[in-house]
Amino acid sequence: MENVLPFARREQLADQASGCPALTHVAGILEHIGPGLKLTVNGNLCLAAVRALAERFGCLELVDPVVGGRRFRTVSSIEIVPVDLIFRWSRAAGFVRIVHGSVVPTARGKRLGADPLDDWRRLFDAFVRKLRWPETSLGGFHAERYFWLRDVASAIGRSLAVLEMSPEPIWITNLAAMIELDLVERYDLSSLAEERFTALPEEISRGGLGGWTDGRP
């Protein structure tokens, strides 16, 4: 957990963490699998579990979607991105594990909610370091982007430190602009199209600093 900063005001943050949607979704995964749930031969959730979890997460319309009057059957859990993400995230954070073709709760998973702030920190750490976000959230590993994505990822810890030390809220887009200035000093970005360059702070804000669509902290 060396990349996750220790925050002050633990009680206040614990209250906020306990209501975090990510923790709620992980709790939903744990509740659904119970003592254990058989996976497919490919190690994915079965379609019955996918449908139940999609309904729980409010994305049931993604299962067997109707497009242009035609219904497309869902054949794998990886097609339902929110469900697949929470499943992989729960595993990466150590709340569930795979045993003999079944997903089962870990000892940590069974304690979920006892320390919400620690649970949140584990999820954050897993999301950044194990699921390799923000690199993938900024559009995958396209060659023209990848050279600076690791720098954005490494700046997350520093950005959180700035947010923590500031007596006033800071707009995420302002932090993104600071990272952009650092990138401009470090790399020659003249080859980027003008519209791509002007959109860089928004992309960093959306993908690299947490996905706030309006730029607020």
pLDDT tens column, 97-128: 999 999 999 999 999 999 998 998 899 888 87
Contacts of 52 (CB under 8 A, 6+ apart): 32
Q: Where would I find the H helices in the chain?
A: 10-18, 21-33, 47-57, 81-92, 107-110, 116-125, 143-165, 172-186, 194-198, 200-203
Q: Do residues 74 and 53 lie in contact, with contact meaning Cβ atoms separated by under 8 Å?
A: no
pLDDT-derived band of residue 217, with 50, 70 and 90 as boundaries? very low
Mean pLDDT of the chain: 78
pLDDT tens column, 183-197: 778 777 676 655 555
All structural domains of the chain with their residue ranges: 10-130, 137-208
The model's pTM is 0.68
